[in-house]
Amino acid sequence: MKLKGAEILLQCLQKEGVDTVFGYPGGAVLPIYDALYKSEIRHILSRHEQGAAHAADGYARATGRVGVCIATSGPGATNLVTGIATAYMDSIPLVCFTGQVGTSLIGRDAFQEADITGITLPITKHNYLVEKTEDLARIVKEAFYIARTNRPGPVVVDLPKDVMEKEIDFEYPEEAINIRGYRVVKGYNSNQVITAVDYIQKARRPVIYAGGGVISSNAAEELRELAEKRKIPVTTTLMGMGGFLGNSYLSLGMLGMHGTRYANYAIGECDLLIAVGVRFDDRVTGKIDTFAPHARVIHIDIDAAEIGKNVEVEVPIVGQVKEVLAAINQRLEAIESEELNEWHETIHRWKEEYPLRYGDSSEGRIMPQHVIEEVYSLTQGEAIICTEVGQNQMWAAQYYHYKHPRSFLSSGGLGTMGYGFPAAIGAKIACPELPVVDIAGDGSIQMNIQELGTAVQYRLPIIICILNNHFLGMVRQWQGLFYGGRYSYTDMSHQPDFVKIAEAYGAIGRRIKEASQVREALEEALKVKDRPVVLDFWVEREADVYPMVPPGGSLMNMLGGD
């Protein structure tokens, strides 16, 4: 069967199970868009390539499948870079197709040429420049294999225009993938599992520290079994939210810079730390010398490079988190222990003394935490919550109780402002039956607000909750705490009218200034089924996120929340 390169590309995507791609057309990808015109694959037209990358990322996080996006050459490709880096830092499987000038023009500074494989080398798991149409199918198959296996991540495939236009005889390569130097991790060290079980059986003050690896490995059920079998308290990272039931009596909530006091105290006092699918980043550990100072550490992760990178580990176990936890559970005895009871009493006392709490507004405005609590109250954890980055992100992590994996989508590693709303579009496309709420700041929503056009075009009922404090809130908070209150260029008093912006795009907009109107506004928004709703909540201008561990400080020395 003779096919053009662009048609081969779409055939390969269908073989990989792709039903939806996110993208933005341009000259170098015109052959692909011409082929898409009659394809069964659904294309979602974003308003900016960065939006397409984040939407594909949101689709991947919500489903566990590989997200796919397309951009043209040059500026189209470079506009993907922030989205690719975001996915890379959070280990999200993406395959990004970029257009490229014809092969005869590469390296000649042709119109809209950019060396996207060179640019994305440090922020991709792998990337390809396809030089011959004959190599295309193999490369696409490899790209999906690499993106979804081992530690997931983004792969870029750069497609010169003439490679897409050339017609060749096509037959899909059915042979197994064999990539030199790349092997999928299988199994685990059984002796290390036996040692880990022994440590867990003997621990008197154990804590599980769970991260995004639990979710990407679909290991939430195995984690729950481990925790409940030995009644081990569980704290999650930002990326691990939803990996363990947020309102369980064993849940400690989030740890780290804006973690709960009781989670951070538990880390400081535990004698065994079971780290599952985590990377010990600085926002979690604070001052590394004082992190879990009394604990033996078991670290389970698919990526051997993460083990021992930041924290000394006594029991390293490289393998799929789901398989390793299942093996531990199989050997672990469920026994009662007086020492464990004492540990639980201590944690219970901390929870009673230091609950998450906030005061009233000094300005008569809405407290931002109150908005999050009402979103939870109305959805009861049966929604997908996306966030931008900053204070809104931390309040969404602290005050919403996540029940399910893949229900909290946020840029944890790169901290990308402008991520939440386009990610919400991807999540809503993937899960149309679930409410999808984007928790945003007034600064971050403006970074990709043009995607309102996308959400309206595809009739996506996403709720965008802007916690509008007329500040770049988290930067202002740091300026207040560490720079003598000099709010250098963080005041955003001059704001656009978000209600009018929403209406201009064809969405619904509403401004809420009274706390008494918060619940009713959310209730009305949840009834809308055919378009996005922008809720502009005017919140306390100088509300801070507490508790807070100062940068580089010890987890035991938190500010606020006491």
Distance CA 405, CA 423 (A): 16
How do residues 430-440 score in pLDDT, each as one tens digit? 999 999 999 99
Distance CA 373, CA 369 (A): 6
Phi-psi region of 264 (alpha: psi -120 to 50; beta: other; left: phi over 0): alpha
How do residues 118-149 score in pLDDT, each as one tens digit? 999 999 999 999 999 999 999 999 999 999 99
**Catalytic-role residue among 474, 479, 540, 558:** 474
3.30.830.10, 3.40.50.720, 3.30.70.270, 3.40.50.970: CATH of 368-538: 3.40.50.970
Distance CA 275, CA 277 (A): 7
Q: Do domains 2-169 and 368-538 have the same CATH topology?
A: yes
What pLDDT is attached to residue 198?
Answer: 97
Active site residue 192: no
SS3 content of the chain, % helix, strand, coil (to 5): 40, 20, 40
Distance CA 472, CA 476 (A): 6
* Residue 336: band (very low, low, confident or very high) from pLDDT cuts 50, 70, 90: confident
**Catalytic-role residue among 161, 166, 322, 428:** 161
Q: 2-169 falls under which CATH superfamily?
A: Thiamin diphosphate (ThDP)-binding fold, Pyr/PP domains (3.40.50.970)
**Mean pLDDT calculated for residue range 455-470:** 98
How do residues 232-290 score in pLDDT, each as one tens digit? 999 999 999 999 999 999 999 999 999 999 999 999 999 999 999 999 999 999 999 99
What pLDDT is attached to residue 320?
Answer: 97
What pLDDT is attached to residue 339?
Answer: 84
**Mean pLDDT calculated for residue range 475-489:** 97
Distance CA 44, CA 368 (A): 32
How do residues 74-131 score in pLDDT, each as one tens digit? 999 999 999 999 999 999 999 999 999 999 999 999 999 999 999 999 999 999 999 9
**Catalytic-role residue among 15, 16, 112, 131:** 112
How do residues 400-452 score in pLDDT, each as one tens digit? 999 999 999 999 999 999 999 999 999 999 999 999 999 999 999 999 999 99
Which H/E stretch holds residue 439?
strand 436-441
Mean pLDDT of the chain: 97
The residues spanned by each domain of the chain are 2-169, 190-353, 368-538
Output phi, psi for 374, to 5 deg.
Answer: -70, -35
**Mean pLDDT calculated for residue range 516-535:** 98
Question: In 9-146, which ranges are E strands?
Answer: 20-23, 42-45, 67-71, 94-100, 126-129
Look at residue 561 and tell me whether its pLDDT is greater than 80: no
**Catalytic-role residue among 4, 11, 22, 49:** 49
Strands 167-169 and 2-4: antiparallel
How do residues 145-204 score in pLDDT, each as one tens digit? 999 999 999 999 999 999 999 999 999 999 999 999 999 999 999 999 999 999 999 999
- Three-state secondary structure along 150-193? CCCCEEEEEEEHHHHHCEEECCCCCCCCCECCECCCCCCCHHHH
Active site residue 111: yes
Give the other-Cβ count within 10 Å of 123's Cβ: 20
The CATH code of the domain at 190-353 is 3.40.50.1220
Active site residue 393: no
